[in-house]
Structure 1
Amino acid sequence: MGLLRTVLIILLIWFGLKILSRLFAPILMKFVAKKAEERFGQQFGNFQNQAQQRHAQKQKEGETVIDKMPKQNKASNEKVGEYIDYEEID
């Protein structure tokens, strides 16, 4: 009798947790997503502010600045191999 009662209690708890997780999982996910969005916004905002401050400090009025290096065109190897002509044998 004790074993059957224990198994029924475990099953009741298992199904109860499944039902509660289906009810509260969307709410929990929204909360976690909102917190992550706030953290990302704060970090991105701080990064933007720092980048603008550094850029303003480095550049003087009327000065031209190039931020990227031009691509270097590498000559491709023309002699990759030789072409071999073949005939199909029936």
Structure 2
Amino acid sequence: MVTASFTGFLKTIAILILVYYAVKYLLKVFAPVIIQQVVKKAEQSFYEQQQNAQQPQQQAYANTSDRPKEKKKVGEYIDFEEIE
């Protein structure tokens, strides 16, 4: 039969505290690098999306005859006010 001892309990608490501070220190050291990489990748992805979105528009309007024609103006806008 295995029984818990006070020294085993203290060792476990000491290991947990050591692991906590080690993780905290490592995150403090490596978090800026990781965040910088994530931001760089997101920026690159955004730039690529912008380029992909602009290319079809530039190709579509490359020729002036391909531009959409203006719609006919049917009338003018009249703003009505309520009379009490």
When normalised by structure 1's length, the TM-score is 0.66
Query: What residue number does 1:85 align with?
Result: none
Query: What residue number does 1:30 align with?
Result: 36
Aligned equivalent of 1:77, options 61, 79, 82: 82
**Identity fraction in percent:** 30
The 1-side partners of 2:58 and 2:18 are apart by 58
Q: Which runs of 5+ in 1 are unaligned?
A: 80-90
The 1-side partners of 2:11 and 2:23 are apart by 18
Query: What residue number does 2:54 align with?
Result: 48
Determine if the alignment matches structure 1 residue 60 to structure 2 residue 65.
Answer: yes
Q: Which runs of 5+ in 2 are unaligned?
A: 1-6, 72-76
Structure holding more helix per residue: 2
How far residue 73 of structure 1 moved from its aligned partner, in angstroms, is 5.8
Cα 1:54–1:6 shift into 2, 3 Å: same
Query: What residue number does 2:19 align with?
Result: 13
Aligned length: 74
When normalised by structure 2's length, the TM-score is 0.70
Partner SS, residue 60 of structure 1: helix
Write out per-residue CA displacement over residues 19-69 of structure 1, whole angstroms, 9 at most, x where no aligned residue: 111111111111000000111111110101011112235x418x78559xx
Higher relative contact order (CA 8 A, sep 6+): 2
- Read off the aligned partner of 2:65 and give its amino acid letter: K
The 1-side partners of 2:68 and 2:56 are apart by 21
